[in-house]
């Protein structure tokens, strides 16, 4: 009779286990609602990205419009609208990540509850097996049972308990692995949330900066087209002087390049500083630089870096580990005449990189940065026909910050073609 009670008790435990593990989770309705909200947020983000891409295409068309005050103000407003798309995407992204973290918290709780149940079942199974082990002698089992069939049934019961014990142990280990993975995913989501929050804050700073540029332009021109054209003439004269100064200094430094001290050129030695890179102007004498030189816009036929397509607010990444050796804003010294906001990083392989025309930089001199770390956001500060990133690679021993005769602190060095190190 005692054996029958024990078997009945064990069956109840296992049926309860199967029911609990296979039943609908305690938070099923809320969980499903969360998933529905997450899917909705994903759709909203995708729609905004598609709209932003269309807007970017229209924005590019405005860059070729004639240089009038009215058109310039329209470009600034278009860039503000484009940034507002990015801000909205980040805001929805934050909402989505918060929902995903909440969903993972439910997963963690449900998995923890399942582990607790499995541990209880395991303890009871072990206790039952211990009691059965005291009767493992088949002769004793046979002698104490009236019928051979009952003895065989009891021996089979011991075997079933052992089998169920192994299954429960396997399930418990799987649940523990699952719990570890979900906790790891939750921590990664929290880190992602902080990154998106930081980017959202930076994008809002860029909006304020761009609004300030609009105010500056209106103040400088007093909202008059005639004053704007005079401003453009002055900018062009100043830019020509700065370009000649940079070209003269860098040409002299080129003789100091030691090819044996340079790392071997190989694709991927440097990381592209923007995602999905599109080169709009190459290094050295290019068809574009020759054209601008021939029409008098450039004072030298050579380009000391490469230009990469990047709308305002696009994240800019460090091309390699290194130390930030200079940051600055040349618009404070020569409005729209040079590199605008820039960052310079000295790497540990005799290479130094310049990132120019930024809308915002988020590093300071002396910072140690890692490859792929965001150091700022693209813009059109300085002399830029439109939003893009100007990227220059220098031979490190030649790099210096010099005092320009017309534009304050100026980054100077012997430029090297970066493309062989990037492609």
**pLDDT tens figures, 36-55:** 999 999 999 999 888 888 77
What is the token pair recorded at 273? 């500083």
| 117 against 323, higher pLDDT | 323
Report domain 241-422's class: mainly beta
| 384 against 389, higher pLDDT | 389
Out of 136-150, 175-189, 252-266, least confident range = 136-150
Tell me the Cα Rg of the chain.
Answer: 34
**Does residue 409 have a pLDDT over 80?**
yes
Q: At what angle do helices 2-22 and 69-133 cross, to 10 degrees?
A: 170
CA–CA distances in Å: residue 246 to residues 209, 253, 300, 382, 415: 27, 11, 10, 14, 11
Pick the most confident of 69-78, 120-129, 225-234, 323-332: 323-332
pLDDT classification of 142: cutoffs 50, 70, 90: very low
| 56 against 69, higher pLDDT | 69
- Listed residue (239, 288, 282) closest to 419, CA to CA: 282
- Mean pLDDT of all residues belonging to the chain: 83
- Listed residue (374, 6, 385) closest to 199, CA to CA: 374
C-alpha 53/C-alpha 382 separation (Å) is 25
* Segments of the chain assigned to CATH 2.70.70.10: 241-422
C-alpha 414/C-alpha 252 separation (Å) is 8
**Contact predicate 239/382, CB 8 Å:** no
> What DSSP letter does each residue of 43-75 carry, written as one string?
HHHHHHHHHHHHHHHHHHHHTTS---HHHHHHH
pLDDT classification of 160: cutoffs 50, 70, 90: low
**How many C-beta atoms lie closer than 10 Å to residue 197's C-beta?**
15
pLDDT of 8: 40
């Amino acid at each position: 009779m005692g054996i029958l009670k024990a078997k009945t008790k064990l069956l109840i435990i296992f049926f309860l286990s199967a029911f609990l593990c296979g039943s609908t989770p305690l938070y099923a309705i809320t969980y499903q609602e969360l998933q529905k909200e997450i899917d909705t947020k994903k759709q909203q983000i995708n729609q905004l990205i598609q709209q932003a891409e269309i807007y970017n295409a229209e924005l590019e068309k405005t860059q070729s419009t004639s240089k009038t005050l009215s058109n310039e103000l329209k470009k600034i407003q278009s860039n503000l609208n484009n940034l507002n798309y990015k801000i909205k995407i980040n805001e929805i992204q934050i909402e989505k990540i918060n929902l995903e973290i909440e969903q993972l918290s439910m997963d963690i709780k449900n998995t923890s509850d399942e582990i607790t149940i499995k541990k209880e079942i395991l303890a009871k199974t072990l206790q039952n097996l211990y009691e059965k082990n005291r009767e493992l002698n088949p002769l004793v089992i046979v002698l104490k049972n009236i019928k051979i069939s009952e003895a065989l049934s009891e021996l089979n019961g011991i075997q079933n308990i052992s089998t169920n014990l192994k299954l429960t142990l396997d399930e418990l280990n799987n649940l523990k692995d699952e719990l570890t993975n979900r906790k790891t995913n939750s921590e990664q989501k929290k880190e992602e949330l902080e990154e998106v929050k930081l980017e959202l804050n930076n994008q809002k700073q860029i909006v304020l900066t761009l609004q300030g540029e609009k105010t500056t332009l209106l103040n400088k021109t007093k909202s008059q087209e005639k004053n704007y054209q005079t401003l453009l003439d002055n900018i062009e004269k100043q830019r020509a002087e700065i370009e000649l100064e940079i070209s003269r200094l860098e040409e002299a430094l080129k003789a100091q390049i030691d090819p044996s001290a340079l790392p071997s050129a190989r694709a991927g030695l440097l990381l592209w500083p923007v995602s999905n890179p599109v080169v709009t102007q190459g290094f050295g004498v290019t068809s574009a630089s020759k054209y601008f030189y021939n029409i008098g816009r450039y004072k030298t036929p050579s380009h000391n870096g490469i230009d990469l397509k990047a709308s305002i607010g696009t994240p800019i990444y460090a091309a390699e580990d290194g130390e930030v050796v200079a940051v600055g804003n040349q618009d404070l010294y020569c409005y729209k005449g040079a590199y605008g906001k820039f960052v310079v990083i000295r790497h540990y392989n005799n290479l130094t990189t310049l990132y120019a025309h930024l809308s915002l930089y988020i590093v300071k001199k002396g910072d140690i940065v890692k490859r792929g770390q965001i150091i700022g956001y693209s813009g059109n500060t300085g002399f830029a026909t439109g939003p893009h990133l100007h990227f220059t690679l220098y031979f490190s021993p030649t790099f210096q910050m010099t005092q320009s005769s017309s534009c304050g602190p100026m980054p100077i060095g012997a430029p090297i073609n970066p493309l062989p190190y990037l492609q």
